[in-house]
Amino acid sequence: MSRTAATRVALVTCRPGPEVAVDRDMPGLVEELRAAGAEADAVHWDDADVDWASYDLAVIRSTWDYSWRAEEFTAWAERCGAVTRLANPADVVRWNADKRYLGELAAAGVPVVPTRYLAPGDAVELPEDREYVVKPTSGAGARFAARYTPGEHATAVRQLARMHAEGFTAMVQPYVRGIDVSGERALQFFGGRLLHASRKGAVLAPGTPYDERKVAHPGLERWTPTPAELAVAERALAAVPGAPELLYARVDLVDGEDGRPCVMELELVEPNLFLDLHTGSVPRVAEAILAAVGE
């Protein structure tokens, strides 16, 4: 790769905070881009002093506070995308920031974890015959997510009341027991190609309060995706409305009750790339970023 110093890339992140994980990928990625001849900066998305138009490309990387500032963040994405190239694009950010997109994927024939949505004011109906998960449609890192049994409905109702009071729409999903057996697999795509894949264990333990911070990626390890997993991931990406150009994507898969992979989440806003686990992928990510500048 070779680029002149005139090429400026913003790697967009967020301010440190007690609820924000440290982006361990950022230093190595900045270094790789600079070694390739680009000017690369880690920039806070809500820094009012940043001149986004001065960058050739802004790549959303670790804006991990966006889910509790969703409207503010998507408004920023639209402003940024109006003055420079933003990856992923602002319309993708707005669509993917609300997990009601799972319903659209299901309607398009993509296998997904069955999901019901409870908006503020909706009647609360919870499963009577199985464990289930309650979480917000705008969330990251298992924030405000919890796992319940039918005997814990009263606690789940209190969680829903708090979420609704704060304006969140809730998702109710069956607890997918395949996670306890085969884990959750994350297939990462960058520059339109499979980059690498990882597997992690279950995030939600029984009895863990919804407002307690969770370990987002327990037992993370390298993974080789099966043909079935890759096929489901590609179907999910093909179903994104408008077939937008995606610089990056992460498709999180679990095994459904039929033992086949289905989509837990489609991460198009700020997915952790796990480059500290897949160090060999850093040059490929930098190359794809710089190729996107020239497109």
Catalytically active residues, by annotation: 213, 250, 267
Ramachandran angles phi, psi of 165, nearest 5°: -65, -30
- Listing DSSP states for the chain in one string gives ----TT-EEEEEE----TTS---TTHHHHHHHHHHTT-EEEEEETT-TT--GGG-SEEEEEE-TTGGGSHHHHHHHHHHHHHHSEEES-HHHHHHHTSTTHHHHHHHTT--B---EEE-TTS-----SSS-EEEEESS-STTTT-EEE-GGGHHHHHHHHHHHHHTTPPEEEEE--THHHHH-EEEEEEETTEEEEEEEE--S--TT--TTS---SSTT-EE----HHHHHHHHHHHHTSTT----SEEEEEEEE-TTSSEEEEEEE-SS----TTT-GGGHHHHHHHHHHHHT-
C-alpha 85/C-alpha 12 separation (Å) is 13
Question: Around 205, how many Cα atoms within 13 Å sit in the side-chain half-sphere?
Answer: 9
Q: In what order do the strands lie in the sheet with 184-190?
A: 221-222, 193-200, 184-190, 248-255, 261-267
Q: Which two tokens stand for residue 7?
A: 């090429």
